[in-house]
């Protein structure tokens, strides 16, 4: 979508396809991208402009807090690894940076 920073890369892809005279591929990609944007837009407009439905909250089953424990443990583990990365991860990242340079 145009406000996104990714729009520039898509525009450059379309420009290079046009310059390389791959018109059929360009038209196919544009058609598929138009269909994707239409699908997203249709669902978003349906969510935005459909009147709210009343929900009987007494029929919704109660969810135990213990069911979310594994998610919170994974979140805590990822935060721990972000602030205390193992030496193996640090060397892997440093080696990847060396390969890029």
Where helices occur in 50-86 by DSSP H, the ranges are 69-83
SS3 74: helix
Give the whole-angstrom CA distance, residue 78 versus residue 86: 12
Each residue's pLDDT tens digit, 26-85: 999 999 989 998 999 999 999 999 888 888 888 888 888 899 999 999 999 999 999 999
Q: Is the pTM of this model over 0.95?
A: no
User: 14 Cβ partners below 8 Å, 6+ apart?
Assistant: 26, 29, 30
Q: Are 13 and 28 in contact (CB under 8 A)?
A: no
């Amino acid at each position: 979508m145009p406000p996104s920073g990714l729009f520039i890369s898509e525009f450059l892809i379309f420009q290079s396809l046009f310059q390389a005279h791959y018109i059929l591929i360009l038209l196919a990609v544009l058609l598929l991208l138009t269909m994707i944007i239409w699908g997203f837009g249709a669902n978003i407009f349906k969510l935005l402009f459909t009147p709210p439905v009343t929900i009987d909250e007494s029929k919704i089953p109660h969810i135990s807090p213990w069911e979310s424990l594994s998610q919170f443990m994974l979140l805590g583990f990822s935060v721990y690894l972000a602030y205390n990365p193992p030496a193996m991860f640090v060397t892997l990242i440093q080696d990847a940076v060396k390969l890029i340079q």
